[in-house]
């Protein structure tokens, strides 16, 4: 995979749009990504990873950090990446989700994340795709437009997951350097981060939890078995001996024996229940026979009592028969006379109503005659249709009153309308005065505006130097920071120099001590050889078998162990001296850089310069704020002038309209007054004239209604008189008095009806009783009654005895059945608990064996945890790949090995050893120099990248980044490292070095410069 172009808008500390042309940067094979710590170098790497995978490079870092805090609330953040893989040229564009202001109302709403991916048809279309800042896809084909689709297409094109990509494109050299310096316990954490094997540690944790859960399940199952056994023994009421046997089987988990013993006990309980059930059934049959006999005796006695009751009822009915016959005849006469009497009552009421209607008409006519005699005259007998004539007169008067209704309202409103017209004329005069005052105020405003414009221009002139003043202040602050740091660095250089000189003296002393010991050892070597001589053995020096004068050891003889200890001390002193010398050189370079930045300034002069520049910025800022304030006032003044002008014009237009309206209203009022005068006539007002018409209409209507009532009453009286005559003739009653006499009082009628109804009910009851089964043939003598009572008492005694026996048998059977049922349920629960113990035991055994194997507790194998084993296997593969790289870096002088011994307090199997071919000695990583540490860690990082790319199917990364680790190198080693990194580019790769070390700038020509401003925003420039 090769990166071509990256464009970022509103990403991290970059508020605006920045672009990086990786193709131009990779012309020489290497480029430098440099800038101070915290300036935003890692943001570029995060942006590349986010464009491809929608996440940032660090697995522990949230993708929310990708959006810049300086981006406008309404504008999206965008990452646009063009890259190339064996499958072709591709372009991917992503925008993270963010909260933007709502288009309507207040608050914010979520803008969802977006992603687009194109396939660029040919290299010739590459410039057009890069120049497409709007994301239109010029010269490209859209292949994915949703987040999930883009994720799949990136995986298909790149061939790496995000974790694999970050392990290959961003070499974890710094993590491996930390691994080399880490303690034994910390190494496992470092490798876990690098290799991404947290999953295996999680598997260990999950298996351990499963093992604990399995143990809890086994305990719970065994507890359930104990509870089920206790329930079973209680249900079958076992003896202590039988109960102890079952408990022993359960405790030893002899589940088959437990089941057999429990089944035997259950069989005994079931047999007892069957025996008692048979006895209970027989007792119930005896009880049923006794109950049948008792019911027959009770029925015989009941029939005798029933026949005696019916005989008494028949005797009473015969005695009451004459009186009931007389009552029935009286009720028949009453039924015939009551309708006739009702018709006679209605006839008399109608006659009275007709007389009252005649009198009411006469009274209404006398009341109406004084005001409207012509209406009363219409009632004369010679008139053809008085009612029609009265209706016509009422309609005529009503029409005349209705015609005056609108004029009445018009007459009533005239005073108020005249008052309102006067008020409008007064208001018009006041508004004309307002118009004159507004005209005068507008004529005075141009002079006031001129004064505001003059003041604004003066403030703008004073604020015009603000940008230059700020730049000068920032430069002065940088100088002050450098001058202050230089003063502090002088002390650091002095201290480093003192330390370097002291370590140099120590190294020389240790070297002299080693040389002295070696000289003394060489001087006493003859005594050591003589100590090993034996008779008849050859001398290793002269070869003689005789040793007449062997050398004697001196008192100050030196042993090999003393020489080896001196050599170790000398090497340690030399390493310390080299480190101190490197620290002195770095401190001196830092002092020189600070003095160059400070120039001729001291901290005091720099402080004075900052104060001067600060005052200038404050003055310009104040003037700028004053100019903005005056500009706001001027805009408000102009807006107020415009508003006043529009108000004046609107007022003038309203005055003209109001004047026209007043004239029109006056003319209308005069015309309405003329109409009212004409319509009033001789009456005092239109209202009085209308009331007169209304009163005539009401009088005519009242006479017509009285006339209609009289006619209707006379007609109804005549009809009812004829109906009464017909009803009396049809009833057979001679006269009206005879009919009225035949009608019974209500209370008497009710009494007689109840008497007749009661006899009918008794007769029915007598007939129904004699028709009952066996009643007609029953002998109801006193002797028969006594015999039936004695038979009933004897049958009851036999039934009571049978019921007692059946009840006792049923109770015993129910208790036995309950015991059998509870025993059966308890046996089922015991069987289920036994099966649960068996199943849980089998499952738990598998879980425990797997958990012990994964957590290193198993007796089989090396007792290594799963996560540690994976790290050991992964580390072996990386070491093999890294040794091939390390052979090139070190000239085959260094080789990595995994320490399979027990170095350190814990045997993790994750320690490294370094075989030094120069001395054929095995070294621990702590003895490596700064340059050697860098070579080894870089080789490990490249080895990991080779392994990951091989596992991904041979994916090749043509663009790599190496992050940090260069600050610990001296200039000579740094040059060597850069040269070795350059070898990585011989296969066509482009390597980006991420560093803030100043000396790297002179080593690499192509550079990306990232700088952080005083407002915390970063800028990016490219030198290519």
In angstroms and rounded to an integer, the radius of gyration of the C-alpha atoms of the chain is 63
Q: Is the pLDDT of residue 187 over 90?
A: no
DSSP per-residue letters across 110-179: EEPPEEEEEEE--GGGHHHHHH-TT---TTEEEEE-SHHHHHHHHHHHH---HHHHHHHTEE-HHHHHHH
DSSP per-residue letters across 836-855: HHHHHHHHHHHHHHHHHHHT
* Whole-number pLDDT of residue 915: 87
Mean pLDDT, residues 555-576? 81
Chosen domain end from 585, 611, 638:
638
CA dist., res. 726 & res. 723, Å (int): 5
Q: Is the pLDDT of residue 489 over 60?
A: yes
- Lowest mean pLDDT across 381-390, 469-478, 709-718, 767-776: 381-390
How far apart, in Å, are the Cα atoms of 5 and each of 2, 91, 136, 990, 1004?
10, 9, 17, 13, 20
> Is there a domain that residue 925 lies in?
no
Maximum Cα interatomic distance, the chain, rounded to a whole number of Å: 200
Q: Is the pLDDT of residue 214 over 90?
A: no
CA dist., res. 397 & res. 930, Å (int): 129
**DSSP structure class, residue 776:** T
Single out the residue of 95, 236, 79 nearest to residue 823, CA to CA.
236
* Whole-number pLDDT of residue 221: 73
Mention every residue, 6+ apart, whose C-beta is less than 8 A from residue 1000: 32, 34, 966, 974, 978, 993
Q: In percent, how much of the chain has pLDDT > 90?
A: 6
* Whole-number pLDDT of residue 723: 81
* Whole-number pLDDT of residue 902: 45
Q: At 921, which helix (H) or strand (E)? A: strand 921-923
Helix axes 603-680, 686-731, angle to 10 degrees: 70
How far apart, in Å, are the Cα atoms of 789 and each of 291, 300, 786, 888?
16, 9, 5, 131
710, 353 Cβ separation under 8 angstroms:
no
DSSP per-residue letters across 377-442: HTTSTT-S-HHHHHHHHHHHHHHHHHHTHHHHHHHHHHHHHHHHHHHHHHHHHHHHHHHHHHHHHH
- For residues 188 and 276, which has the higher predicted lDDT (pLDDT)? 276
484, 599 Cβ separation under 8 angstroms:
no
Mean pLDDT, residues 358-364? 84
> Is there a domain that residue 724 lies in?
no
> Is there a domain that residue 10 lies in?
yes
Chosen domain end from 612, 638, 664:
638
* Whole-number pLDDT of residue 557: 74
pLDDT tens for each residue of 390-436: 888 888 878 877 877 777 777 788 888 888 888 888 888 888 888 88
pLDDT tens for each residue of 50-77: 999 998 876 555 667 789 888 888 899 9
CA dist., res. 180 & res. 175, Å (int): 9
pTM, two decimal places? 0.41
Residues across the chain: 1024
Mention every residue, 6+ apart, whose C-beta is less than 8 A from residue 888: 980, 983
Q: Is the pLDDT of residue 20 over 90?
A: yes
Mean predicted lDDT score pLDDT of the chain: 80
920 sits in the region (left: phi over 0; alpha: psi -120 to 50; else beta) called left
How far apart, in Å, are the Cα atoms of 14 and each of 37, 69, 256, 470?
15, 9, 77, 21
177, 937 Cβ separation under 8 angstroms:
yes
The domain total for the chain is 2
Q: At 992, which helix (H) or strand (E)? A: strand 990-995
Q: At 17, which helix (H) or strand (E)? A: strand 14-21
CA dist., res. 673 & res. 407, Å (int): 10
Q: In percent, how much of the chain has pLDDT > 70?
A: 86
Instruction: Output b/e per residue, 887-923; b: 16+ Cβ within 10 A.
Output: eebbeebbbbeebeeeeeeebbbbbbbbebeeeeeee
Chosen domain end from 609, 638, 667:
638
CA dist., res. 349 & res. 359, Å (int): 16
Q: At 1023, which helix (H) or strand (E)? A: strand 1018-1023
Task: Give 1020's pLDDT tier (boundaries 50, 70, 90).
Answer: very high
Compute the half-sphere exposure of residue 519: CA atoms within 13 Å on the CB side of its CA.
6
Q: Is the pLDDT of residue 556 over 60?
A: yes
* Whole-number pLDDT of residue 537: 63
* Whole-number pLDDT of residue 150: 92
* Whole-number pLDDT of residue 21: 92
Is 657 exposed, middle or buried (CB count within 10 Å of its CB: 0-12, 13-18, 19+)?
A: exposed
* Whole-number pLDDT of residue 65: 77
CA dist., res. 867 & res. 854, Å (int): 8
> Is there a domain that residue 114 lies in?
yes
pLDDT tens for each residue of 490-533: 888 899 889 988 988 898 888 888 778 877 776 666 666 566 66
* Whole-number pLDDT of residue 908: 56
Mean pLDDT, residues 553-560? 70
Q: Is the pLDDT of residue 454 over 90?
A: no
DSSP per-residue letters across 299-365: HHHHHHHHHHHHHHHHHHHHHTHHHHHHHHHHHHHHHHHHHHHHHHHHHHHHHHHHHHHHHHHHHHH
Mention every residue, 6+ apart, whose C-beta is less than 8 A from residue 518: 558, 563
- For residues 899 and 76, which has the higher predicted lDDT (pLDDT)? 76
Please report the sign of the dihedral spanned by the C-alpha atoms of residue 233, residue 236, residue 239, residue 245: negative
**DSSP structure class, residue 90:** E
- Lowest mean pLDDT across 649-663, 798-812, 831-845: 831-845
Give residue 1000's domain range.
1-159+957-1023
- For residues 615 and 540, which has the higher predicted lDDT (pLDDT)? 615
CA dihedral in degrees (1012, 1013, 1015, 1016; nearest 10)?
0
CATH number, domain at 155?
Answer: 3.40.50.300
> Is there a domain that residue 928 lies in?
no
Task: Give 906's pLDDT tier (boundaries 50, 70, 90).
Answer: very low
- Lowest mean pLDDT across 267-281, 360-374, 639-653, 730-744: 730-744
pLDDT tens for each residue of 584-638: 888 888 888 888 778 888 888 889 888 988 888 888 888 888 888 888 888 898 8
* Whole-number pLDDT of residue 91: 93
* Whole-number pLDDT of residue 907: 47
Tokens 């005065």 map to which residue?
Answer: 433
* Whole-number pLDDT of residue 909: 65
* Whole-number pLDDT of residue 547: 60
Task: Give 119's pLDDT tier (boundaries 50, 70, 90).
Answer: very high
How far apart, in Å, are the Cα atoms of 264 and each of 136, 226, 419?
87, 19, 120
CA dist., res. 905 & res. 925, Å (int): 17
Is 713 exposed, middle or buried (CB count within 10 Å of its CB: 0-12, 13-18, 19+)?
A: buried
* Whole-number pLDDT of residue 63: 64
List the structure tokens of 851: 């958990």
* Whole-number pLDDT of residue 82: 93
> Is there a domain that residue 962 lies in?
yes
> Is there a domain that residue 608 lies in?
yes
> Is there a domain that residue 984 lies in?
yes
């Amino acid at each position: 995979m090769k990166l071509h172009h990256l464009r970022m808008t509103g990403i991290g500390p970059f508020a605006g749009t920045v672009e990086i042309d990786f193709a131009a940067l990779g012309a020489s094979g290497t480029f430098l990504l440099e800038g101070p710590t915290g300036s935003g170098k890692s943001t570029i790497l995060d942006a590349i990873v986010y464009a491809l995978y929608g996440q940032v490079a660090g697995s522990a870092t949230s993708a929310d950090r990708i959006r810049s805090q300086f981006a406008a609330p309404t504008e999206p953040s965008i990452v646009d990446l063009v890259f190339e893989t064996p499958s072709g040229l591709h372009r991917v564009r992503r925008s993270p989700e963010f909260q933007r202001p709502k288009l309507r109302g207040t608050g914010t709403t979520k803008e969802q994340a977006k992603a687009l991916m194109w396939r660029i048809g040919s290299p010739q279309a590459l410039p057009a795709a890069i120049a497409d800042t709007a994301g239109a896809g010029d010269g490209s084909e859209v292949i994915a437009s949703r987040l999930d689709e883009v994720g799949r297409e990136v995986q298909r094109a790149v061939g790496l997951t995000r974790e694999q990509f970050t392990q290959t494109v961003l070499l974890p050299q710094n993590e491996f350097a930390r691994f080399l310096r880490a303690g034994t316990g910390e190494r496992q954490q470092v490798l876990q981060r690098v290799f991404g094997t947290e999953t295996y540690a999680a598997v260990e944790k999950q298996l351990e939890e499963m093992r604990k859960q399995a143990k809890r399940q086994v305990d719970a199952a065994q507890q359930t078995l104990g509870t089920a056994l206790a329930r079973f023994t209680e249900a079958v009421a076992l003896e202590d001996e039988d109960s102890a046997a079952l408990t022993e089987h359960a405790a030893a988990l002899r589940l088959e024996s437990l089941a057999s013993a429990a089944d035997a006990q259950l069989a005994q309980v079931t047999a007892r229940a069957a025996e008692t059930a048979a006895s209970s059934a027989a007792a119930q049959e005896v009880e049923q026979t006794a109950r049948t006999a008792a019911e027959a005796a009770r029925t015989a006695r009941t029939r005798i009592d029933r026949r005696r009751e019916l005989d008494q009822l028949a005797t009473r009915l015969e005695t009451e028969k004459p009186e009931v016959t007389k009552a029935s005849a009286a009720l028949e006469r009453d039924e015939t006379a009551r309708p006739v009497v009702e018709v006679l009552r209605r006839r008399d009421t109608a006659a009275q109503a007709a007389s009252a209607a005649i009198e009411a008409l006469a009274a209404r006519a006398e009341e109406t005659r004084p005001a409207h005699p012509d209406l009363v005259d219409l009632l004369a007998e010679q008139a053809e249709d008085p009612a029609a004539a009265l209706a016509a007169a009422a309609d005529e008067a009503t029409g005349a009153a209705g015609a005056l209704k609108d004029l009445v309202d018009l007459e009533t409103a005239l005073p108020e309308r005249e008052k309102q017209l006067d008020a409008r004329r007064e208001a018009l005069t006041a508004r004309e005065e307002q118009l004159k005052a507004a005209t005068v105020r507008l004529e005075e405003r141009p002079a006031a505006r001129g004064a505001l414009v003059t003041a604004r221009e003066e403030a703008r002139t004073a604020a015009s130097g603000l940008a230059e003043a700020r730049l000068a202040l920032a430069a002065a602050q940088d100088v002050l920071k450098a001058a202050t740091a230089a003063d502090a660095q002088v002390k650091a250089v002095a201290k480093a120099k003192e330390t370097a000189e002291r370590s140099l003296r120590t190294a020389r002393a240790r070297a002299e001590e080693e040389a002295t010991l070696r000289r003394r050892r060489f001087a006493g070597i003859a005594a050591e050889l003589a100590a090993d001589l034996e008779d008849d053995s050859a001398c290793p020096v002269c070869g003689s078998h005789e040793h007449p004068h062997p050398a004697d050891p001196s008192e100050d003889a030196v042993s090999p162990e003393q020489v080896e200890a001196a050599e170790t001390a000398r090497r340690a002193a030399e390493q310390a001296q080299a480190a101190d010398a490197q620290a002195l050189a770095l401190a001196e370079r830092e002092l020189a850089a600070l003095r160059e930045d400070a120039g001729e300034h001291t901290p005091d002069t720099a402080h004075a310069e900052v104060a001067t520049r600060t005052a200038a910025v404050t003055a310009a800022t104040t003037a700028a704020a004053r100019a903005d304030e005056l500009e706001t006032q001027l805009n408000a003044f102009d807006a107020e002038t415009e508003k006043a002008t529009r108000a004046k014009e609107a007022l003038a237009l309203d005055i003209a309209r109001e004047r026209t309206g007043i004239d029109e209203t006056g003319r209308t009022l005069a015309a309405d007054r003329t109409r009212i005068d004409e319509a009033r006539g001789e009456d005092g007002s239109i209202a009085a004239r209308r009331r007169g018409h209304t009163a005539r209409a009401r009088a005519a209507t009242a006479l017509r209604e009285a006339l209609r009532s009289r006619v209707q009453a006379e007609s109804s009286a005549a009809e009812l008189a004829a109906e009464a005559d017909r009803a009396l003739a049809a009833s057979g009653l001679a006269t009206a008095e005879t009919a009225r006499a035949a009608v019974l009082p209500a209370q008497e009628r009710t009494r007689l009806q109840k008497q007749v109804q009661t006899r009918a009910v008794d007769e029915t009851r007598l007939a129904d009783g004699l028709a009952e089964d066996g009643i007609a043939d029953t002998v109801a003598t006193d002797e028969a009654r006594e015999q039936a009572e004695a038979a009933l008492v004897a049958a009851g005694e036999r039934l009571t005895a049978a019921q007692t026996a059946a009840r006792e048998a049923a109770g015993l059977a129910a208790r036995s059945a309950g015991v059998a049922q509870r025993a059966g349920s308890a046996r089922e629960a015991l069987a289920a608990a036994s099966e649960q113990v068996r199943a849980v035991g089998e499952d738990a055994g598998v879980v425990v064996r797997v958990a012990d194997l994964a957590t290193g507790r198993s007796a089989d194998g090396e007792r290594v945890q799963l996560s540690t084993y994976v790290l050991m296997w992964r580390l072996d593969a990386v070491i093999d790949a890294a040794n091939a790289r390390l052979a090139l870096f070190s000239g085959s002088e260094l080789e990595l090995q995994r320490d399979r011994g027990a170095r350190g307090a814990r045997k993790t199997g994750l320690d490294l050893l370094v075989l030094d071919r120069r001395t054929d000695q095995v070294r621990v990583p702590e003895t490596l120099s700064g340059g050697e540490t860098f070579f080894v860690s870089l080789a490990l990082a490249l080895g990991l990248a080779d392994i990951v790319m091989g596992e991904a199917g041979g994916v090749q990364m043509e663009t790599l980044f190496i992050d940090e680790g260069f600050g610990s190198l001296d200039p000579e080693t740094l040059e060597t490292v850069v040269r070795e990194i350059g070898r990585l580019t011989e296969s066509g790769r482009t390597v980006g070095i991420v560093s803030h070390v100043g000396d790297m700038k002179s080593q690499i020509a192509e550079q990306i410069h990232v700088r952080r401003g005083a407002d915390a925003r970063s800028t990016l420039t490219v030198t290519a």
